[in-house]
């Protein structure tokens, strides 16, 4: 405390000068309209900039909560959309009213905590696991399209085999024509994948939309995969060589939805009994 008093005493002339300057400035502002107006305008601008900066900092630190809330809202919207699609689906003239069919899919929101796109076999780690009833084989979709399937699960995490994995195959159809094939990445460009087994009489065109077929009960039918970018057909080939531009950017993946198929076990059990293991 004594040092503070000594400091003030030593620089008393400076502090007196500073106090007089402030007092003179106040007198000028108080007694002159122009200077007063300029001061208040400048002060308002500075205050507004400080408030904007402060608000921006608060919004930045609240982004995690905002993203989490948006992911939860997206999950609810996906559930409602899928139930609406199933309730409006008709076979011939028969409208499906079975509650089990309408509610055949549930969605669990998860955050991506690890991701790779530069390997031949890429995987994604998410922050939900057995506690949220996630199991191997469940489909995973992003905001823009299909992402992959759950490969392994622990209590709090799950590892997803990405569509950018040469071992992963997804049953898909060309939306315009209805012809189905298989999506399988060739390990080269992370923005492009291959659509295989489209027969030469199917006549695909560039710009056609490719979506999941829903045949394997893992992915809901109609989940976006991408747009046909390139088409090639050799003279002796039975199938087209088709490049599909992926709708989902795997290099910018933050939140995903894990799809729980409530009827998958029933379908697989019936097919196993009738057709046998495949």
Tell me the C-alpha distance between 22 and 210, whole Å. 71
pTM exceeds 0.95, yes or no: no
**So what's the pLDDT on residue 236?**
87
Mean pLDDT value across residues 228-237: 93
Tell me the C-alpha distance between 149 and 167, whole Å. 11
Structure tokens at 243: 């490049």
CATH 2.40.10.340 fits 65-262, yes or no: yes
**So what's the pLDDT on residue 90?**
40
Instruction: Please report the beta strands in 128-223, taking only residues with DSSP state E, as ranges in sequence order.
Output: 139-141, 146-153, 158-165, 170-174, 180-184, 192-196, 209-212
Residues of the chain with CATH 2.40.10.340: 65-262
| Phi, psi (deg, nearest 5) at residue 239 | -130, 155
Q: Which of 3-17, 190-204, 219-233, 236-250 has the lowest mean pLDDT?
A: 3-17
Whether the predicted pLDDT of 33 surpasses 90 = no
Structure tokens at 111: 């955050």
Mean pLDDT value across residues 126-148: 92
218 secondary structure, DSSP code: S
Structure tokens at 113: 């905590």
Give pLDDT tens digits for 60-113. Answer: 666 666 666 666 666 656 655 555 555 444 444 445 555 555 467 888 889 999
């Amino acid at each position: 405390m004594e040092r503070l008093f000594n400091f003030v005493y030593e620089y008393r002339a400076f502090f007196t000068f500073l106090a007089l300057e402030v007092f003179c400035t106040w007198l000028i502002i108080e007694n002159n309209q122009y200077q007063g107006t300029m001061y208040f305008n400048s002060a308002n601008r500075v205050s507004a900039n400080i408030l904007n900066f402060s608000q921006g900092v608060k919004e930045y630190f609240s982004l995690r909560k905002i993203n989490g809330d948006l992911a939860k809202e997206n999950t609810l919207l996906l559930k409602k959309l899928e139930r609406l699609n199933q309730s409006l689906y008709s076979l011939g003239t028969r409208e499906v009213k079975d509650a089990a069919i309408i509610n055949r899919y549930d969605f669990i929101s998860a955050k991506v905590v690890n991701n790779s796109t530069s390997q031949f076999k890429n995987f994604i780690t998410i922050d939900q696991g057995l506690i949220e009833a996630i199991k191997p084989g469940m489909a995973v979709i992003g905001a823009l399209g299909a992402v992959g399937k759950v490969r392994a699960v622990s209590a709090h995490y799950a590892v997803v085999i990405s569509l950018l994995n040469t071992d992963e195959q997804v049953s898909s159809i060309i939306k315009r024509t209805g012809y189905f094939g298989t999506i399988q990445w060739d390990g080269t460009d992370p923005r492009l994948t291959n659509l295989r087994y489209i027969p030469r009489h199917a006549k695909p065109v560039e710009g056609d939309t490719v979506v999941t077929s829903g045949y394997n009960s893992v992915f809901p039918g109609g989940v976006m995969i991408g747009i046909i970018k390139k088409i090639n057909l050799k003279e002796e080939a039975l199938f087209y060589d088709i490049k599909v531009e992926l709708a989902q950017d795997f290099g910018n993946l933050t939140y995903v939805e894990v799809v729980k198929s409530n009827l998958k076990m029933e379908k697989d059990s019936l097919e196993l009994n009738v057709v046998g293991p495949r």
